[in-house]
């Protein structure tokens, strides 16, 4: 009979195979269970159990390899070409309530990139387009409204009133972005 000791002192309960530990000790004559327990760090007869502690790697010794482009957060470092950059990105605390992602226009799944051949409404009639390019999607709604009124729509007070009531997402969806 071999005396098996658990790596956890004082453990009582079911162990490997048919072993039942009482206060960290069990006995068996099954050679397969003894061999398993020896390889798993249990104490056998007079040999003490090996306390196996998983060792986390020291981060100073870990080498990393960058695959692909470095990651950039559009909420912290917005660029004019960013697709659906957060509102107020680069202007306010990126972790505060002033910086938020725009909603999904029209619901449904949000595309991961702008359509390759998207045509804004103002270009449908064959016009040359606005005099100035559209603001960045991260620009404030006031900048979008001003751009639409001065560069895209006719000089109609009713249309201007409608534009002033539109959200930034509605302006981007309707007039380009």
Residue 52 located in a structural domain: no
Average pLDDT of span 22-38:
91
Residue 152 located in a structural domain: yes
Average pLDDT of span 136-165:
81
Average pLDDT of span 165-169:
86
Residue 104 located in a structural domain: yes
Task: Please report the pLDDT score of residue 114 as a whole number.
Answer: 54
Give whole-number Cα distances, 57 to 40, 65, 143, in Å. Answer: 22, 16, 50
Judge if 40 and 97 occupy the same domain: no
Judge if 99 and 22 occupy the same domain: no
Residue 18 located in a structural domain: yes
Task: Please report the pLDDT score of residue 128 as a whole number.
Answer: 39
What residues contact residue 98 under an 8 Å CB cut-off, 6+ apart? 87, 88, 91, 92
pLDDT 10s digits, 9-20: 889 999 988 899
d(CA 170, CA 174): 6
Based on the structure, what is the number of domains in the chain?
2
d(CA 78, CA 120): 23
User: Higher pLDDT residue, 157 or 112?
Assistant: 157
Judge if 39 and 88 occupy the same domain: no
Judge if 103 and 172 occupy the same domain: yes
Residue 9 located in a structural domain: yes
Residue 127 has pLDDT above 50, yes or no: no
Residue 65 located in a structural domain: no
Q: Give the ranges where 22-156 is alpha helix by DSSP (H).
A: 31-39, 141-147
Average pLDDT over the chain, rounded to an integer: 76
User: Higher pLDDT residue, 129 or 22?
Assistant: 22
pLDDT band of 51, cuts 50, 70, 90 = low
Domain hosting 23: range is: 2-44
Q: What does residue 3 show for φ and ψ, rounded to 5 degrees?
A: -95, 120
pLDDT 10s digits, 85-118: 778 877 878 777 777 776 655 544 555 555 555 5
d(CA 32, CA 142): 77
> DSSP readout, 2-49?
EEEE-SSTT--EE-STT-EEBTTEEEE--HHHHHHHHHTT-EETTSPP
Q: Yes or no: say if 72 and 90 are a contact pair by the CB < 8 Å rule.
A: no
Least confident of 9-13, 121-125, 136-140, 147-151: 121-125
Average pLDDT of span 45-62:
71
Give whole-number Cα distances, 108 to 40, 54, 72, 105, 121, in Å. Answer: 53, 46, 26, 8, 21
Task: Please report the pLDDT score of residue 126 as a whole number.
Answer: 41
Dihedral (Cα; 152, 153, 155, 161), 10-degree rounding: -120
Judge if 39 and 100 occupy the same domain: no
């Amino acid at each position: 009979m071999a005396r098996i000791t658990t790596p956890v002192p004082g453990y009582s309960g079911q162990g490997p195979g048919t072993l039942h530990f009482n206060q960290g000790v069990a006995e068996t004559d099954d050679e397969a269970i003894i061999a398993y327990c020896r390889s798993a760090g249990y104490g056998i007869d007079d040999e003490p159990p090996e306390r196996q502690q998983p060792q986390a790697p020291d981060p100073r010794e870990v080498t990393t390899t960058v695959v692909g482009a470095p990651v950039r957060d559009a909420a912290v470092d917005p660029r004019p070409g960013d697709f659906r950059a957060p509102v107020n990105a680069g202007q306010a605390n990126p972790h505060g309530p002033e910086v938020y992602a725009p909603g999904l226009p029209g619901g449904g799944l949000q595309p991961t990139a702008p359509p390759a051949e998207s045509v804004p409404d103002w270009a449908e009639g064959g016009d040359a387009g606005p005099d100035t390019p559209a603001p960045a999607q991260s620009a404030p709604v006031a900048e979008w409204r001003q751009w639409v009124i001065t560069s895209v729509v006719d000089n109609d007070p009713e249309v201007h009133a409608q534009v002033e009531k539109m959200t930034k997402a509605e302006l981007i969806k309707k007039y380009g972005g």
